[in-house]
Chain A
Amino acid sequence: MVFKDLICVFIIKFLMWFTVILYEEVIAMNKIIRVNMKTKEVKIEEPKKDYELLGGRALTSRIIYDEVEPECDPLGEKNKLIIAPGLLSGTAVSSSSRISVGCKSPLTNGIKEANSGGLIGTYLSKNGIKAIVVESLPEDENSYILEIDEEKISLTFDNQLKFSGTYETVEKLFKKYGEDTAILCIGPAGERKMRAASIAATDPNGELKFAARGGVGAVMGSKGLKAIIVKNPKNSKIKYYDREAFLELAKTINKELLADPKTGDSYKKYGTAQIVNAVNAIGALPTKNFKFGAFEFAKNLSGETMYDTIVKRGGEGKTGISCMPGCVIRCSNVYPDECGKKIVSTLQYETIALVGSNLGFSNLDSVAKLNKEINDLGLDTIEMGCVLGVAIDAGFAEYGNEESCLKLLEEIRKNTVLGRVLGNGVEITGKVLGANRIPAAKGQGFPGYDPRALKGNGVLYAISPMGADHTAGNAFGSRNEVNPLSKEKQGELSRNLQIKMTTLDSLGFCIFARGPLFKDPSTMKNLIYYYLGIEIETEKIWDMGINTLKIEREFNIKAGISPCMDKLPEFCYKEELPPTNAVFDVPEEEIKKAII
C-alpha cells in the first residue's frame, strides 16, 4: 500500500469516527442541533422551555444573547452561527417558511439576523429541527458539509467544493444528494472570510435566494462549513394541535392575499422591482454612489420594463415564481438574455437600485450579469453595490461600464489584495481607498433608499440593531402617513415598523404577506394556537418583536456599539440630495423615539 492509499484509509476511518449517526434521537420534534467544528461532535438537544414560542430572528438573537460573548471576535471561536426556521415554518399558511441566520456580525460588530426564502426552512421544520447551532473553529482547512435527513445527521468534508462558486456548489450537491434536497451554502467570499459574504439558500426550483446581509457568510466560512444539506423527510414531523382549524385559517389568509391586487397581481408580474419608479419619484433612489436621489433612466430599470422584457424575450424567462413551498405571492423571476437564456434569478429591487442606478447602469441586462457574478461569489448585492459605487468614485471603475465593474469582481474571485478590500464591504473599502463619503451605518452599506429623502429609513439605519438594513422596518411601505421628507413622526414610525417586522421575522413570515396579518393581529395568535396549542393574548404577539429588539440592543451595547454610534455618516447631514435637496435633519429626540 502506497503512502497515498494509507492517507485515504486514515481519512475514511477518521470520517467514520466523527460522522455522527443518530437514528432515534432525531425522531422527536423541536430539537436543537449543536455542531462543534473543532471536535466535529454533533449533539441533539432539547430546547430550553422559554424557547418554546421563539422562532426565526427571535430564536437566533436569543441564542446569541444567551451563548455568545458580546465582545468576541466575530470570526473567532467564540462566535456562533445560528440557523433557525420561523415559528410557523413548514405549515400550510402562505409565505411563512423563511429561514433566519444569526451571529455576531463581522461587518457591524453587533448582533445580526439575515433571513431568506428557499426550501430549507420548510425541510428543517419537517425534520423536527428548531435550530442549528454551529460553534467553535476547525483546526483544519477542510470544506465541511453538514447533512441532515430523518435517519441521520453527519458531518463530512468534500474539498472538491473548496472555493467553488455558489452555482457550481449547488449543482454538484444536487447531483450527489438528490434533487429533493434543501441546500444552504457559501461561495468563495465566505470561505475567504470576506465581510460582505452572504449565505445562499436553494428554492423549490433549485434557484438561489440569499441571507445576504451582515457578513453571515464569512462566519459560516470561518467555521469551515461549506454547506448544509437537508433532505425532505418521508414522514413530516409537523403536527398541528388543531389541523382543521389551522388549514381553514390558512386558506382564508391565502385567499385574502390572492384577492389583494398587490399580492395577487403586481408582485407576480413585477416582483419587488415594482417600486423602482416610486422610489425614484420621491427622490430616494440611490444614484451614482448616493449623489443623486433620482435617475434619468429609472424607467429602463423599472418593474414594468423588467416584466415586459421577460415576457418579450420568453425562453427561460419567467415571472410569478414561489421561492417557498405554498407561497401564493410568487414574486420571484428568471431574467433572460436576448436569446431567452437565463442570466439570473431573481432580479429584484435592492439589486437594481444598488447595482443599477447607484452604478449608473441604464439597462437591466448589465444589472443581471453583475447580479449573477455577485451571487456566484457568495456576496451581498446591496453591500457590493455600495462598494462598487465608492470604488468608481475613487477611480477604480466607471459608471455604467459593465466590464470595469466585472473586472473588480474578478479581483475578489482571484483573492487579490484589492479584491479582499472590496469583499470586506463598503466601510473597509471606503477607508482604504480614502473616500470621504461612505454610505453605511454601523459598518453596513445602505440599502436602496437614500436616508435623506426617506427619513424614516434614515432613523432606521441609525437605530436598528442591524445597522443599515431595510428589512428591519422599511418606511417605504408606510401608507401615505408620514411625509418622507418631514422631520416629524419619523421616530415613532420607525419604532412601530421595527417591532412589526421583527415579529414577522420571528414567525417566519415574508414581510409581503403582512396585509391580512396586520389587519387583524389575532390571526397570528390563532395560527400559533392552532399549530402549537399555546394560547397567548393578541397584544402579546408584538412582544416577540419588542423582546428581541431589546436583547439585540443590549448585546450591541455590551459589544461596544455605544448609543453615540446611532448615527448616519456625516455627508448625509450636510450634502444636499438632488432633486429634493434634502439633508438628514431629523432631530435627535425624534430619532431616539425609535429605540426599543
Chain B
Amino acid sequence: MVKVKLHLHLARFSEMGNKEFTINYEENMTLESLLKKLRIPIEEVGMFVVNGKWQDKNYIILDKDSIEIFPVYLGG
C-alpha cells in the first residue's frame, strides 16, 4: 500500500474528495505515472515530498511510501 496526500486545491482531483487515501502498490510506478493515474495534470503540481524528502517526477514509488503532492505555489 502507498499513502497519498493531496494538498490544498489538488484535493479536487480525488474521486472521493478526500485529501488523504491509500492506493495499491504497483511495480515501477513513478510519481509522474501516479499523477496520470489520479488524472492530475503535471502543470498543477509544484512538488512531491516522499517520506519527508523532496523527489522529482521520475522517482520510482516503493511499497509503503508516504507521498505528499503539493500544488504550484506562487510564494509567500
Contact = CB atoms under 8 A, between A and B. Distances in A.
A278 B70 contact: yes
A274 interface: yes
B46 interface: yes
A560 interface: no
B76 A348 contact: yes
A281 B55 CA distance: 12
A480 interface: yes
Nearest to B54: A282
Contacts, number: 84
Interface residues of B, number: 24
Interface string B43-54: 111111100111
Interface string A393-410: 000000000000000000
Given A282-B47, A483-B56, A579-B52, A448 B74 contact: no
Contact of A480 (B8, B12, B57): B57
B71 A262 contact: yes
B20 to A, nearest CB: 13
Interface in A249-291: 261-263, 265-267, 270, 272-275, 277-279, 281-283
Interface string A192-235: 00000000000000000000000000000000000000000000
Contacts of B52: 281, 283, 579
- Specify the main secondary structure of chain A where it touches its partner: helix
A452 interface: no
Contacts of B9: 261-262, 265-266
B73 A580 contact: no
Contacts of B44: 261
B8 A281 contact: no
Interface of B: 7-9, 12, 43-49, 52-54, 56-57, 68, 70-76
A266 B8 contact: yes
Contact of A512 (B8, B47, B54, B75): B75
A364 to B, nearest CB: 15
Contact of B74 (A279, A282, A350, A511): A511
A48 interface: no
Contact of B73 (A470, A477, A484, A485): A477
Interface residues of A, number: 41
A514 B72 CA distance: 12
Given A266-B8, A480-B56, A275 B75 contact: yes
Contact of A470 (B46, B53, B76): B76
A477 B56 contact: no
B17 to A, nearest CB: 14
A476 B54 contact: no
B67 to A, nearest CB: 11
B74 A263 contact: yes
A278 B8 CA distance: 10
Interface in A530-566: none
B57 A477 contact: no
A479 B56 CA distance: 11
A65 interface: no
Contacts of B49: 278, 281-282
Contacts of A273: 76
Interface string A467-498: 00011001011011001110000000000000
